[in-house]
């Protein structure tokens, strides 16, 4: 979940305000005493992404610089040590963004970070496979070193006793695609990125190679991370056509889904939905309808509760995408909202004729402003500390499973702090990393490391656990027509 999603999506749907008026709110029956553990088969995990954590431009031996080979083999992006990509270009264009540097240097420190995850007791480690690393300079060739890097990372995850979750596209594509240099039958097209008619085929050619190489590892697959958020970033940063990109993203997902199952019929594939409380159907419903037949489990990312729309939202998608917002740590946090989110998608599964389709929380966590608020209650995070937030969230997941949701897994976002799309200021990590102030990039555990370890070992919170905050009504947390309040424990 990223800053645009809450405020921009709210504004996008404000014209549908009549739909947001909740129906009469009726409390559910009181839960039975205690909550059952999530069980031995539940998939506890941690998440990271490629661009946000890796650093290291191909062939670059100078810290703090990154090769931008699509323009010139000798051109460098000062302060951005990463493969040339749309996001390196966006950082270059925005002087107000933090320089990327080498992120948290996962490229060189992946083994130690995977060991940290192993020590938590998790079963799943989510990473991204960066297209920009595999094809850094041209659509016509792949970088062997890029594949060797991911070979090593995935082998380490498996050796550590975890299952890889592989994200094929986490909002980043190569710089040559940003330039429109597709070298195909539409080479004369002036369009770039997802507006170019060659984009889907170029995307699929790379992703098929990834699938061929890693399907034997039987990972969990995430095709495209939070596709609507991805679209809005491209609308804002590259003036991409929103409607066309939604169609193309759905096409890309559906085609690679079919290919993955051609290679491995028993594969488990999703595209994770960035949940937007109160207006999720308006924001994600159209895309979800286009891919619902091509999901083996529903991935849900949940972070924030409902935020009322501004009184005078801009009228166009492009101006909506450009709305500024304060730090995401100021957005409303209500852990009971995750109950509504997974219940909603369990109901969506029923509506599309797949009532047994599993639900997996692919991302959830709590942002803080810098590291100093990780372990103390702070007003900017709903007066939550990270450990209380984690335990309360898990409680509501246990409630959801007890109430019939086929919930199979949960990933904490994220194993470490990382680059949050223009800034190192928001901190999500179980292990905090001060990129701007600590050249050693030391991983320092928050108190939530022990909390998550204990929670995993117990299969959840104890039967007599009660959340630190009483639940609010659904008209506050996730107002939808006819919403039903979750009963207080």
Instruction: Kindly provide the b/e burial profile for residues 159-184, where b requires at least 16 CB atoms within 10 angstroms of the residue's own CB.
Output: eeebbbbbbbbbbbbbbbbbbbbbee
* Alpha-carbon gap, residue 450 to 91, rounded angstroms: 35
CB 375 within 8 A of CB 385: yes
CB 124 within 8 A of CB 85: no
Residues paired with residue 65 on neighbouring β-strands, in sequence order: 78
pLDDT at position 222 is 98
Burial class of residue 8 (count of CB atoms within 10 Å of its CB; 0-12, 13-18, 19+): buried
Q: Report how far Cα 385 is from the mean position of its chain's Cα atoms.
A: 21
* DSSP letters spanning 320-343: HHT-----GGGS---TTHHHHHHH
Burial class of residue 114 (count of CB atoms within 10 Å of its CB; 0-12, 13-18, 19+): buried
pLDDT at position 21 is 33
* Alpha-carbon gap, residue 328 to 381, rounded angstroms: 9
**Other Cβ atoms within 10 Å of 146 Cβ, number:** 19
Residue keyed to tokens 């107002």: 479
Residue 414 preceded by cis peptide, ω within 30: yes
Report the C-alpha dihedral over residues 152, 154, 156, 158, rounded to 10 degrees: -150
* Alpha-carbon gap, residue 447 to 229, rounded angstroms: 30
pLDDT at position 77 is 73
pLDDT at position 223 is 98
* Alpha-carbon gap, residue 462 to 410, rounded angstroms: 17
* DSSP letters spanning 447-484: THHHHHHHHHHHTSS-TT---SSPPPPHHHHS--TT--
Residue keyed to tokens 């372990």: 375
Q: Where are the beta strands (DSSP E) in 148-293?
A: 163-169, 220-224, 268-270, 273-274
List the structure tokens of 58.
């191909």
Three-class DSSP category at 486: coil
Residues in the chain: 489
List Cβ neighbours of 128 (8 Å cut-off, separation of 6 or more).
48, 49, 50, 51, 52, 166, 167, 168, 169, 170, 172, 225
Give the chain's residues under pLDDT 50. Answer: 1, 3-7, 10-32, 64, 69-75, 311-326, 378-381
């Amino acid at each position: 979940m990223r800053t645009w999603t809450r405020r921009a999506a709210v504004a996008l749907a404000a014209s549908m305000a009549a739909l947001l008026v909740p129906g009469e709110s009726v409390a559910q029956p009181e839960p039975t005493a205690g909550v059952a553990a999530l069980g031995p088969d539940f998939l506890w995990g941690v998440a990271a992404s490629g661009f946000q954590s890796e650093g290291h431009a191909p062939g670059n031996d100078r810290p703090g610089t990154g090769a931008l080979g699509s323009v010139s083999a000798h051109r460098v992006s000062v302060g951005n040590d990463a493969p040339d990509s749309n996001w390196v270009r966006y950082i270059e264009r925005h002087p107000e963004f933090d320089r990327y540097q080498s992120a948290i240097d996962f490229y060189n420190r992946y083994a130690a970070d995977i060991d940290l995850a192993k020590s938590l007791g998790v079963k799943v480690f989510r990473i991204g496979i960066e297209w920009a690393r595999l094809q850094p300079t041209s659509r016509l060739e792949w970088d062997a070193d890029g594949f060797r890097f991911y070979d090593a990372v995935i082998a380490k995850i498996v050796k550590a006793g975890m299952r890889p979750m592989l994200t094929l596209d986490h909002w980043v594509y190569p710089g040559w695609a940003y330039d429109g240099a597709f070298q195909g039958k539409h080479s004369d097209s002036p369009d770039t990125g997802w507006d170019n008619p060659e984009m889907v085929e170029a995307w699929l050619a790379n992703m098929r190679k990834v699938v061929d190489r890693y399907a034997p590892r039987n990972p969990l697959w995430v095709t495209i991370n939070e596709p609507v958020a991805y679209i809005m970033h491209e609308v804002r940063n590259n003036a991409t056509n929103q409607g066309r990109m939604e169609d193309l993203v759905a096409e890309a997902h559906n085609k690679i889904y079919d290919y993955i199952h051609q290679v491995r019929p028993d594969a488990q594939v999703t595209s994770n939905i960035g949940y937007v409380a109160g207006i999720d159907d308006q924001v994600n419903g159209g895309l979800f309808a286009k891919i619902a037949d091509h999901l083996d489990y529903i991935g849900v990312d949940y972070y924030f509760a409902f935020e009322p729309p501004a009184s005078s939202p801009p009228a166009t998608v492009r101006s909506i995408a450009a709305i500024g917002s304060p730090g995401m740590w100021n957005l409303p946090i209500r852990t009971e909202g995750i109950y509504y989110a997974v219940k909603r998608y369990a109901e969506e599964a029923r509506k599309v004729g797949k009532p047994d389709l599993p639900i997996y929380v692919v991302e959830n966590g709590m942002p803080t402003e810098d590291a100093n608020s990780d372990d103390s209650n702070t007003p900017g995070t709903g007066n939550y500390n990270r450990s209380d937030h984690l335990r309360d969230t898990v409680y509501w997941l246990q409630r959801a499973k007890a109430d019939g949701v086929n919930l199979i897994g949960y990933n904490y976002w994220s194993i470490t702090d990382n680059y949050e799309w223009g800034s190192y200021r928001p901190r999500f990590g179980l292990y905090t990393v001060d990129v701007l102030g600590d050249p050693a990039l030391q991983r320092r555990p928050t108190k939530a490391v022990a909390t998550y370890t204990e929670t995993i070992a117990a299969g959840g919170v104890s039967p007599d656990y009660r959340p630190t905050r009483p639940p609010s009504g659904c008209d506050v947390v996730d107002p939808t027509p006819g919403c039903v309040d979750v009963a207080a424990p």
